């Protein structure tokens, strides 16, 4: 097996915006199987306050009923400082990213759903309830990712020759992970190693598979 051709195209991917009510419900359903009602009940608890060892319960997130993607400037600055300290200055963009909702008649009186203090990690020992911890982790990760730089990678098409047959692999070669440092999405599924023309490859395993067109999934709530 030998690589005969590698075609690359540099691509950038923007981070997703912080959560609004509807996108939080969708993500909690997709990633954790939470029903919308359960998501909002847990979010209400996070908003009202969790005992972190102080004199009063600490509200961990901003108000959870909102259509807005806007973020307070002070929150953006605090988040940038936390990201710089935790992950390095190259994970802080020159200007804080901004996002606009596409919904007509959106209720934008409140900010997007975000942690009230980015430095309170989901691993905080006082967040005992596992459902609260999972949802807070989702909100915290999404907010941090929304304030980080774009991911950079090469969309790559590789042709591999063996005898009279040619095999084609399509995928991504990561250049800079950017917001993917926090918010992985589905990038890993199509990751390819760095390959060069004329490079010889060794077969590790054959995985025969057949794909049939499937109908679109039924709508959930």
Give, rounded to a whole angstrom, the gap between the first and last alpha carbons of the chain: 48
Q: Please, are residues 46 and 124 in contact by the beta-carbon 8 Å criterion?
A: no
> What separation in angstroms does the CA of 97 have from each of 112, 117, 141, 179?
13, 18, 15, 12
Residue with tokens 């901003």: 62
Residue with tokens 């109908």: 215
3-class secondary-structure state, position 139: helix
What are the φ and ψ backbone dihedral angles of 131, each rounded to 5 degrees?
A: -65, -40
Structure tokens at 100: 């606009």
Distance CA 104, CA 59 (A): 30
How far is Cα of residue 38 from the mean position of the Cα atoms in its chain? 22
Active site residues: 63
Distance CA 15, CA 82 (A): 18
Instruction: Please return the burial class of 90, using the count of CB atoms within 10 Å of its CB with bins 0-12, 13-18 and 19+.
Output: exposed
């Amino acid at each position: 097996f030998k690589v005969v051709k590698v075609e690359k195209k540099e691509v950038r991917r923007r981070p997703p915006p912080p959560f609004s009510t509807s996108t939080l419900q969708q993500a909690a359903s997709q990633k954790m199987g939470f029903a919308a009602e359960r998501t909002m009940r847990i979010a209400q608890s996070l908003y009202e306050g969790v005992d972190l060892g102080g004199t009063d319960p600490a509200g961990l997130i901003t108000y959870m009923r909102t259509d807005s993607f806007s973020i307070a400037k002070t929150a953006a600055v605090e988040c940038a400082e936390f990201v710089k300290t935790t992950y390095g200055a190259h994970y802080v963009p020159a200007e804080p990213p901004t996002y606009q909702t596409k919904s007509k008649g959106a209720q934008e009186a409140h900010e997007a759903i975000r942690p009230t203090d980015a430095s309170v990690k989901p691993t905080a020992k006082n967040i005992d309830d596992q459902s609260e911890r999972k949802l807070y982790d989702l909100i915290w990760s999404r907010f941090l990712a929304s304030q980080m730089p774009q991911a950079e990678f090469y969309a790559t098409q590789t042709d591999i020759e063996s005898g009279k047959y040619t095999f084609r692999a399509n995928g991504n070669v990561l250049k800079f992970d950017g917001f993917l440092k926090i918010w992985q999405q589905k990038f890993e599924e199509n990751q390819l190693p760095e390959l060069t023309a004329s490079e010889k490859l060794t077969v590790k395993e054959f995985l025969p598979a057949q794909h049939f067109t499937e109908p679109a999934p039924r709508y959930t709530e």
